[in-house]
Amino acid sequence: MIAVVAMSAIACSTPTFEERLSHLESLKSRRTISEDEYAIMRRRLVETVDLATVRPSTDSPSSPAAAEGPAELISPGWVVGTWRGAHIETANAYHTEGETIVEFSALGDQLEWRMTRRFQYTDGISVADAAGTAVVLEDVLEMIGAYLPGRSIFSEGTPVGYRLRRTGDSLEGLSSGADSLTRTLALHRVQTAVAASVTPVGPESLVGVWNGTLLVARRCSMERMDSLATLHIFTEASDLRWTLESGYYGEDLTGSGTVIVSADHVKLVGRYGYNAPAGGGGQCGPVTGARDVPIEYIARLSGKTFRGGGVGLDRLPQSFLLERAGP
């Protein structure tokens, strides 16, 4: 009830975006709303505000040239490189957020990323590493992945994702996934990537069984859930083929197609679909229109690890992390 009243108070008389944030801060400081309610309402405010219609602030007049313009588009090439910043969150009694570094590298027409996140504790510093794939959807950089094994407060495989937008030379946005400590991530560029030497992938090195996890975005929320996945790569006539068996929020998800090897990255081109629950998957299901959705996964082989991801015509990002299980 408190949250409903608070949001109604924020919404009345068409206040500016800054005034809404200030009002939320005031409610939190007076303990009118809890920390959890504050976090939920702030996220909703940031996600739903329409900068094109919000009344400009009267505190300082601005010229038409300073008015808010259209969203800035992002290109994969612009993202590649090293970025530094921090996670912004409410105070936590157990740790203090430190520096976050994210490295983006090209993965065919898509991107892969690795994040190093530091926490300050009374007895030292903890470091959490995560990795995954990213795609550019016009003005949004969609990242999905999971935390890696190591000494951190997150267990191996904990899903995490981000939806970042460009503001000048910076990236900022909200997160999702099982990482409950993450709120907003703000990054600025440190340096562009330096071209690395390319080690071609031999098609024969891909043949076999690969086990691991598949992360698929959920259409009606920012929730992420990892599912066990098995990828089979095999030869059929003169072609290299693949089949995938995994899940989508409790339902079976399968895929199949052709493998294309190009220099140091691999394309899995084909289709995927899932067994919708009784009554259909509704708006939250991964399939738009037809049951099977064309998709192109871009992946990279590193030793016994096969990591990649893609987006089908339903525009739902997917990311997988697999280890060789057998021939």
**Rounded distance between C-alpha atoms, residue 272 and residue 297, angstroms:** 11
Six-digit token string for 79: 């993202």
**Mean pLDDT, to the nearest integer, of 80-86?**
91
Q: What is the pLDDT of residue 224?
A: 60
Q: Exposure pattern of 266-285 as b/e (b: 16+ CB <10 Å)?
A: bbbebbbbbebeeeebeeeb
The average confidence (pLDDT) of the chain is: 74
**Which pair of tokens denotes residue 62?**
């601005």
In the structure, what pLDDT confidence band is assigned to residue 288 with cuts at 50, 70 and 90?
Answer: very low
Residues 319, 199 contacting (CB under 8 angstroms): no
pLDDT of 52: 47
Here the contacts of 120-128 (C-beta below 8 Å, separation 24 or greater) are: 120/95, 120/96, 121/94, 121/95, 121/96, 125/98, 126/95, 126/151, 126/152, 126/153, 127/151, 127/152, 128/152, 128/153, 128/154
Q: What is the pLDDT of residue 31?
A: 61
pLDDT value at 10 more than 50: no
Range list for CATH 2.40.128.120 in the chain: 76-192, 203-326
CATH class of 203-326: mainly beta
pLDDT of residue 51: 44
Give me the mean pLDDT over the 267-283 stretch. 70
Question: To 10 degrees, what angle do helices 35-48 and 17-29 make?
Answer: 180
Q: How many residues does the chain have?
A: 327
Residue 199 has pLDDT above 60, yes or no: yes
CATH class of 76-192: mainly beta
